[in-house]
């Protein structure tokens, strides 16, 4: 596309420069493309969805032919109409598309080789070796009984964070991990998840920081969480620890990040990286429906809580003291459902007040999201929330 053509395209499409002059036929044509992409990048896809995406791409190509000059159309647009056959032959596109491969080629070309030959081959050989080492560790570390071999695995992989504390390991007497149960726990808050249930073996070793104290601003949320999760309203704060040996302490171990089935989540940190934007289900006040809320992870942490004797809880050796949480600040919802059919939620770009919902077991994280700021005709800012597809890597 030439420079003058690009400028005219921006003038038509920019929501800031010329809003809302966007012709409806052009908008609908590009929405067909967006809908097709949302289907095609899914980690799993049905034959019905393949046909649906193909119809969207047909509509998009037809609208481009009607709207633009023939010289604007590209060979890629022709290939759009062959994707449905390709997916039937080879499966979902993330398994074979070449953008990642081309990206690595770009990285190789940008490395300084001092005019010596063979560097690309050496670099790629090391890269693939490290990748396969990580796969080997994930496949081998399938149960806590292999903890004694962690030091060997650490030498095999290229990780730089040493494993130094027991908190980085999976508890040795924990119940076996069940993939379907873990996946289901993120689909509804109806599941009785407290945060100490088994995590995927590939999550370990946890990359933990030093133990620290939780701030007195965040601590009340943690105390309230345990009171509600364990139905024990009389749990006492660490401030009153002299009254009982059973209290909710304020000692936590923060995590650099956590890997859940191949998806890595992070919190805010001193390097300037913002925490992952995620969605999770919460039950309504009537307990009959669930709604998705969007929030930002402030930090990930491990907390130990010993279950005190209580008539409502049988003494059980299966209770795990170690809980893994994300401290999340949630965005305020709006009643605007304008883009619901496009799979886009709308929030206000401001956080709601923290409460016990800010303490979220990592098992309940549903999806990561992408966001964009939108300005209404009344000059009010809104935040558009777009769920990102998730591929499970067990």
| Interval 130-179: pLDDT, tens | 666 666 665 655 555 555 666 666 666 554 444 333 344 455 556 788 88
Query: Are 249 and 238 a contacting pair, CB within 8 Å?
Result: yes
Residues in CB range of 40: below 8 A, 6 or more apart: 53, 83, 87, 92, 93
Q: What is the per-residue pLDDT for 265?
A: 93
Q: What is the per-residue pLDDT for 62?
A: 87
Q: What is the pLDDT of residues 187-221, one digit of tens each?
A: 875 558 999 999 988 788 888 888 999 999 999 99
**Of 230, 195, 228, the residue nearest 363 (C-alpha):** 195
The residues that bridge with 211 in the sheet, in sequence order, are 253
91 vs 253: which has the higher pLDDT: 253
Percentage of residues in the chain having pLDDT higher than 90: 30
Mean pLDDT for the stretch of residues 12-17: 38
Confidence grade of residue 6 (pLDDT, cut at 50, 70, 90): very low
Tokens at 76, concatenated = 């890629």
Domain boundaries, the chain: 3-95, 99-136, 170-387
> What is the rounded distance in angstroms from the CA atom of residue 191 to the CA atom of residue 43?
24
Tell me which range, 1-5, 306-310, 381-385, 390-394, is most confidently predicted by mean pLDDT: 381-385
Question: Does the structure show a pLDDT above 70 at 29?
Answer: yes
pTM score, whole prediction = 0.63
Q: What is the per-residue pLDDT for 229?
A: 92
Burial (CB count within 10 angstroms: exposed 0-12, middle 13-18, buried 19+), residue 268: middle
> What is the rounded distance in angstroms from the CA atom of residue 12 to the CA atom of residue 19?
8
Query: Are 248 and 226 a contacting pair, CB within 8 Å?
Result: yes
> What is the rounded distance in angstroms from the CA atom of residue 299 to the CA atom of residue 266?
7
Tokens at 268, concatenated = 């805010």
340's enclosing H/E stretch is: none
Q: What is the per-residue pLDDT for 54?
A: 94
Query: Are 261 and 393 a contacting pair, CB within 8 Å?
Result: yes
Query: Which of these ranges, 85-99, 152-166, 230-244, has the smallest mean pLDDT?
Result: 152-166
> What is the rounded distance in angstroms from the CA atom of residue 324 to the CA atom of residue 185?
14
Can you list the positions of beta strands (E) in the chain?
Answer: 208-213, 251-255, 257-260, 263-266, 277-283, 290-304, 322-333, 345-351, 359-361, 367-375, 381-387
> What is the rounded distance in angstroms from the CA atom of residue 110 to the CA atom of residue 137?
30
């Amino acid at each position: 596309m030439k420079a003058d053509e690009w400028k005219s395209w921006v003038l038509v499409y920019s929501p800031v420069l010329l809003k809302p002059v966007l012709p409806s036929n052009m908008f609908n044509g590009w929405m067909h493309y967006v809908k097709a992409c949302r289907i095609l990048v899914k980690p799993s896809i049905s034959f019905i969805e393949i046909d649906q995406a193909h119809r969207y791409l047909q509509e998009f190509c037809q609208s481009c032919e009607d709207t633009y000059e023939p010289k604007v159309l590209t060979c890629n647009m022709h290939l759009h109409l062959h994707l449905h056959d390709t997916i039937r032959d080879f499966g979902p596109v993330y398994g074979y598309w070449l953008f990642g491969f081309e990206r690595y080629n770009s990285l190789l070309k940008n490395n300084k080789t001092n005019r010596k030959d063979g560097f690309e081959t050496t670099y790629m050989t090391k890269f693939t070796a490290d990748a396969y080492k990580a796969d080997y560790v994930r496949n081998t570390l399938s149960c806590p009984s292999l903890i004694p071999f962690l030091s060997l695995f650490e030498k095999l992989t290229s990780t730089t964070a040493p494993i130094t504390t027991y908190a980085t390991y999976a508890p040795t007497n924990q119940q076996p991990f069940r993939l379907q149960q873990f996946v289901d726990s993120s689909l509804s808050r109806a599941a009785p998840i407290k945060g100490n249930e088994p995590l995927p073996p590939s999550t370990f070793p946890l990359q933990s920081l030093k133990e620290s104290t939780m701030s007195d601003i965040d601590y009340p949320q943690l105390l309230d969480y345990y009171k509600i999760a364990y139905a024990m309203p009389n749990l006492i704060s660490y401030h009153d620890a002299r009254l009982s040996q059973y209290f909710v302490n304020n000692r936590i171990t923060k995590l650099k990040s956590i890997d859940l089935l191949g998806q890595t989540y992070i919190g805010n940190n001193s390097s300037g990286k913002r925490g992952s934007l995620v969605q999770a289900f919460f039950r309504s006040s009537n307990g009959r429906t669930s709604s998705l809320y969007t929030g930002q992870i402030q930090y990930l942490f491990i907390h130990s809580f010993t279950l005190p004797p209580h008539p409502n809880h049988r003494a059980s050796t299966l209770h795990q003291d170690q809980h893994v949480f994300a401290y999340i600040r949630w965005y305020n919802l709006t009643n605007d459902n304008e883009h619901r059919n496009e799979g886009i939620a709308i929030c206000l770009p401001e956080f709601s007040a923290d409460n016990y919902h800010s303490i979220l077991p990592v098992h309940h994280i549903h999806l990561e999201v992408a966001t964009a700021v939108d300005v209404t005709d009344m000059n009010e800012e809104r935040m558009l929330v777009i769920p990102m597809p998730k591929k499970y890597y067990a």
